Amino acid sequence: MKVFVCNDHEGLWPVPTASIVIAENEGQAFDMLQKELKEKHGIDDDCFTLTEINTNEKSVKVLSNGDY
């Protein structure tokens, strides 16, 4: 499984958003996040980006630092 992060999908309010998706590949991760946003949050977004996180090495990814 792979880990993907997204911090540019639409949200309920005009503030930064951030999500983590664990999936087999980027396509599956995109579909999973799109479905989650629509079905559970009423957000219809198909224009967001995913970034894969390499879990084989130490790293930090700040998803939202409060600056908006």
More confident residue, 68 or 4: 4
Q: 30-39 contacts: CB < 8 A, separation 24 or more? A: 33/6, 33/9, 37/9, 37/10
Using DSSP bridges, classify how beta strands 2-6 and 51-53 pair: parallel, antiparallel or unpaired: antiparallel
pLDDT score for 68: 64
Ranges of each domain in the chain:
2-53
pTM summary value: 0.89
Q: How many whole angstroms from its chain centre is CA 46?
A: 12
Determine whether 29 is exposed, middle or buried from the number of CB atoms within 10 Å of its CB (0-12, 13-18, 19+): buried
The domain made up of 2-53 has a fold known as Ubiquitin-like (UB roll) (3.10.20)
pLDDT beyond 70 at 35:
yes
pLDDT score for 15: 83
pLDDT score for 59: 92
